[in-house]
Amino acid sequence: MTDVTVSSALRLHPRVSIRPEPFGALLYHFGTRQLSFLKSPRLLAVVEAVGDAESVGDALATAGVRDEEFPIYLRALGTLRESEMLVERAA
Amino acid sequence: MTLVAPPERPKRLVDHFESGLNSPICLTWELTYACNLSCVHCLSASGRRDPRELTTDECKAVIDELQRMKVFYVNIGGGEPTVRSDFWELVDYATSHDVGVKFSTNGVRITEEIAQRLAANDYVDVQISLDGATAEVNDAIRGPGSFDLAMRALDRLSTAGMTRLKLSVVCTRTNIPQLDEFKAIADRYGAQLRLTRLRPAGRGADVWNELHPTQEQQRELYQWLLAHGEDVLTGDSFFHLSALGETLPGLNLCGAGRVVCLIDPIGDVYACPFAIHEEFLAGSIRDGGFAEVWRGSELFARLRSPQSGGACTSCQFFDTCKGGCMAAKFFTGLPLDGPDPECVRGFGEELLAEGSGPRPKPSVDRSHRTSPPRPRAVPVTLQRRRPAAPPISACNADPVAEYAAQLAAGPLQTAPRASDPLADIHPPKEK
């Protein structure tokens, strides 16, 4: 598994669609047919910010994630990276 | 004085699902009641086309709405959807409007040319229905010639290079002994096997008594599913079997009106594909559109409110089986807050033996009136039980335990490759 760190640069896979829901959001990957549930609105905010942010760290800060919560969110982003919902981009 | 709020129980993902979503996760759309076959267990009692069928333009308007609602894909069925003359046009329209299509067919219109066209469309999954691994068993249920029809379609699609292919089997008393053979057929065509439950809906109500798996077969099926885990899809069909021990992969909840619903050929919206009956009719897309029904229907609001489990709540397995399938109870005349007719502890059978309420008459029936004659009985051959699958080692990783843990913990939940009635949570292996 590729570790996602605060200095990683990621974006949403072009074939992934996001649907906001009361609990957060549903992500659907039209290529892999995979469905993921983002279980918090804040994680959704991170995922939405990550493409335009300088780095993952910036996206976390923009979405208002507290420092001590960074590890949980980095792990979640790692899972999304692994399932190709998120892909690397040039920093 | 300081007021301290009681700690709130964090809402789990399944709780959110139970109270409903902005849009369905799994939407079934029966495009037509017309069918070239007359399967004895047809959920939608199909045969004849309904003259009020949605027009091509109306169908496209539904697709536009699904695109706006971000319904990522629809499961199209019927009847036999491919007999609609605009079927391929609608498939192309949907897939070019961000709505993926997974459709079920008996194979009748899968020519070599169509197979190539489907293989080239990356947004289409095809599901071939087959209810026996041999012509003898299959054709007794689906009609003469239907086995060859399905095999021909599998062959053409696989030859054309279609990789998103499924073999869909409704589990019955006559085909449970053939589970390994079904798997072999699926493997031969590079298809994924999908097993679902026989429901007493539509014409299925007429044959359910003779065709639904025996208790012993249910255990055999359960062991087989545990042994094949991630390789076989079930559309969360068999969550009532989780009471036999380990929870089966899946969400294990009734999704009707919460994350699942059905649009029928004339635009009526029902709570789930197994509940085509006025009792579960939420509204019509012809009165203001689909979103209006999904978000505003009184029936759906009721289904999304906390349900009473009745006598079942005191059962130690209630948390895993949740009282089973609403439609199965309804159509066998059992109370909705009572046990599933196939309750593995036998409570459903007991109630049925005592004489349950009257079985509801179907409110919708488009069966062929004449030829082919509507079959009512199926020859059943009793067979010796095959040796059970090897027991699951306690050391085996249980995908659901992991799933449950994820539900409780992290902010992210991955449900690999969701498919039908509420997501096949377990990821099929890419072949």
Average pLDDT over residues B76-93: 97
Strand partners, A11: A87
Query: Which residues of chain A from 41 to 60 reach within 8 Å of chain B, CB to CB?
Result: 42-43
Which among B123, B125, B413 has the least Cβ separation from residue A36?
Answer: B413
Residue A26, chain B, CB below 8 Å: the answer is yes
| Residues B112-144: tens digit of each pLDDT | 999 999 999 999 999 999 999 999 999 999 999
Rounded average pLDDT over B142-162: 98
Mean pLDDT of B215-237: 91
Q: Residue B236: list chain A partners with CB under 8 A.
A: none
Q: Which residues contact B245 (CB under 8 A, 6 or more apart)?
A: B222
Strands (E) across A5-54 are located at 10-12, 16-21, 24-29, 34-38
Task: Tell if the CB–CB gap between A39 and B413 is shorter than 8 Å.
Answer: yes
Closest by Cβ to A36, choosing from B19, B100, B415: B415
Would the pLDDT of B152 be above 90?
A: yes
Q: What is the mean pLDDT of residues B161-171?
A: 97
Q: Is B346 left (phi over 0), alpha (psi -120 to 50) or beta?
A: left
Domains assigned to chain A: 10-83 (3.90.930)
Question: What per-residue confidence (pLDDT) applies to B313?
Answer: 87
What are all long-range contacts of B208-213, with beta carbons under 8 Å and residues at least 24 apart?
A: B208/B41, B208/B331, B208/B332, B210/B173, B210/B377, B210/B378, B210/B380, B211/B40, B211/B41, B211/B141, B211/B172, B211/B173, B211/B174, B211/B378, B211/B380, B212/B172, B212/B173, B212/B341, B212/B342, B213/B171, B213/B172, B213/B173, B213/B176, B213/B342
- Name the minimum distance, in Å, from the CA of A54 to any CA of chain B: 23
Q: What pLDDT does residue B196 have?
A: 95
Say if residues B225 and B236 touch (Cβ distance below 8 Å). no
What's the one-letter identity of residue A24? G
- At B3, the pLDDT band (50, 70, 90 cuts) reads low
- Whether residue B22 and residue A38 make contact (CB cut-off 8 A), yes or no, is no
Q: Compute the distance between CA of residue A10 and CA of residue A3 in angstroms, rounded to an integer.
A: 12
List, for residues B365-416, the tens digit of each pLDDT value: 899 886 554 555 555 655 554 444 333 333 332 222 223 333 333 455 544 3
Return the higher-pLDDT residue of A19 and B254.
Answer: A19
Phi, psi (5° rounding) for residue B400?
-80, -35
Answer positive or negative: Cα dihedral of B199, B202, B203, B207: positive
Q: Give the rounded percent of residues in chain A with a pLDDT score beyond 90.
A: 90
Chain B residues with beta carbon closer than 8 angstroms to that of A22: 16, 19, 21-22
Contacts of residue B383, Cβ cutoff 8 Å, sequence gap at least 6: B177
Q: Write the single-letter amino acid at B95.
A: T
Mean local confidence (pLDDT), B175-196: 97
pLDDT of residue B223: 94
Which amino acid does the sequence have at B428? P
Contact at CB, A79 and B412, closer than 8 angstroms: yes
Q: What share of residues in chain A are helix, strand, coil (percent, to 5)?
A: 35, 25, 40
Of B235, B226, B153, the residue nearest B194 (C-alpha)? B235
What residues have CB less than 8 Å from B144, skipping those under 6 apart?
Answer: none
Evaluate if residue B279 carries a pLDDT over 50. yes
Residue type, B54: L
Inter-residue contact B307 to B257 (CB < 8 Å): no
Of A15, A33, A50, A77, which to mutate for an interface test with B (greatest number of B Cβ within 10 Å)? A33
How far, CA to CA in Å, does B163 sit from each of B76, B187, B324? 18, 12, 33
Q: Tell me which amino acid residue B394 is.
A: A
Residues of B in contact with A32 (CB under 8 A): 417
CA distance B431 to B425: 18
Q: What end-to-end distance do the CA atoms of chain A give, in Å?
A: 20
Note whether B177 contacts A: Cβ–Cβ < 8 A.
no
Residue ranges in B160-270 assigned as alpha helix (H): 179-188, 204-211, 215-228
A23 vs B229: which has the higher pLDDT: A23
B286-340: pLDDT as tens digits: 999 999 999 999 999 999 988 777 888 888 888 888 888 999 999 999 999 899 9
Could A17 and B72 be called an inter-chain contact, meaning their C-beta atoms sit closer than 8 Å?
A: yes
Q: Is any Cβ of chain A less than 8 angstroms from the Cβ of B423?
A: yes
pLDDT at B425: 31
- Asked if the Cβ–Cβ distance from B416 to A83 is below 8 Å, we say yes
Quote the CA–CA distance of A62 and B291 in Å, as a whole number. Answer: 33
In the three-class reduction of DSSP (H, G, I as helix; E, B as strand; rest coil), residue B261 is classed as strand
- pLDDT number for residue B412: 55
Q: How confident is the model at residue B359 (pLDDT cuts 50, 70, 90)?
A: confident
CB pairs under 8 A between A and B: 86
Q: What is the mean pLDDT of chain B?
A: 84
Nearest residue, CB atoms, A30 vs list B21, B123, B413: B123
pLDDT computed for residue B356 by the predictor? 66
- Specify the 3-state DSSP secondary structure of B284: strand
User: Which residues share a beta bridge with A27?
Assistant: A18, A36
Residue among A13, A16, A26, A50 with most chain B CBs within 10 A, to mutate:
A26
